[in-house]
Amino acid sequence: MSELIHTIEEWLMEYGVWGLALVSFADSSFFPIPPDVLLIPMGISNPDSVLFYAFITTATSVLGALLGWFIGKKLGRPVLTYLFKEDKVQKVEYYFTKYGSMAILMAALTPVPYKIFTIFAGISRIRLRTLVIWSIIGRGARFFAEALLILFLGAQAKNFIDNNFALITIIGAVIIVGSYLVYMYIRKRRNPKNP
């Protein structure tokens, strides 16, 4: 299976930006290959365009999230249990129950399979606006962070990302979520009459 995925990666690389856009779109809704595997080598080989690549990856990933949402809305829970193991589905349900729509942000930023969250967002009827906002923030932070690492570290960025990026994105997610909660707390204290 890993050999097949590697062959698909190499095939997509031949299409450059179009391959990157395709895999980024598909990753957010049904495809097993994350866009990072194309974004990083493409950015290293052409650092002058890495910020553009990050933009394309973010934009098409958000569009793919919309497809995931529609899949969840139209096909419901059976599509999740068909595509993913039951324990993963239950874990996503737990995150949505505990964190609400913030679970989308955490999934968008961290290495967990984003598609399962976008599909579940459709099942849960989370507003499209909410999905788009958190997807832009999370996916943008992730892909532009990779682009900036490539700009600063060059070819060494790949090893750095491979060894540390999961931890960095998790820390980033905690910082973003924490900042949002502090903002909401301050806002509520200033306007106690507003919900």
pLDDT in tens, 144-175: 989 999 999 888 888 888 888 777 777 777 77
Q: What is the pLDDT of residue 132?
A: 93
Q: What is the pLDDT of residue 1?
A: 46
Helices (H), the chain: 2-13, 16-27, 36-45, 50-75, 77-83, 86-99, 102-109, 114-123, 128-153, 157-190
Among residues 146, 86, 142, the alpha carbon closest in space to that of 116 is found at: 86
Secondary structure (3-state) at 149: helix
* Contact partners, residue 131, CB within 8 Å, separation at least 6: 65, 66, 69, 101, 104, 118, 121
pLDDT in single tens digits along all 195 residues of the chain: 456 556 666 776 777 889 899 999 999 888 778 888 889 989 998 899 999 999 999 999 999 999 999 999 998 888 888 888 888 888 888 888 887 777 888 888 877 788 889 998 998 888 999 999 999 988 998 899 899 999 998 888 888 888 887 777 777 777 777 777 776 778 777 776 555
178 burial type by CB count under 10 A (0-12 exposed, 13-18 middle, 19+ buried): exposed
Q: What is the pLDDT of residue 147?
A: 92
Q: Is 96 left (phi over 0), alpha (psi -120 to 50) or beta?
A: alpha
